[in-house]
Amino acid sequence: MTNQGNLLTSTQAAKILKVSRQGLAYLVDKGKVKPERVVGRYKLFSEAEILAFKAKR
């Protein structure tokens, strides 16, 4: 696990990517976005990775 700045919830990451939470789950299932940490049933995403993915889109 790398420390790439702030961690975002699924809702926050989805808002940045302008997709629904279900859309974010689809991206995770397809391996396009990886959660930084999984805590119980919650996934936390690196803000840097989400912004990098958004820039690639």
CATH number of domain containing 22: 1.10.1660.10
**From residue 18, how far is each of 1, 2, 39, 43, 51 by CA, in Å?**
26, 25, 24, 17, 12
Q: Show Cβ contacts of residue 48 under 8 Å, excluding neighbours closer than 6 positions.
A: 4, 5
Would residue 2 count as lying in a domain?
Answer: no
Of the candidates 27, 45, 26, 47, the residue with the CA atom closest to the CA atom of residue 35: 45
Distance from C-alpha of 21 to C-alpha of 15, rounded to nearest angstrom: 8
Q: What are the tens digits of pLDDT across the range 1-57? A: 455 579 999 999 999 999 999 999 999 999 999 999 999 999 999 999 999 999 998
The count of domains in the chain is 1
Would residue 42 count as lying in a domain?
Answer: yes
At residue 41, the pLDDT reads: 92
Range of the domain at 44: 7-56
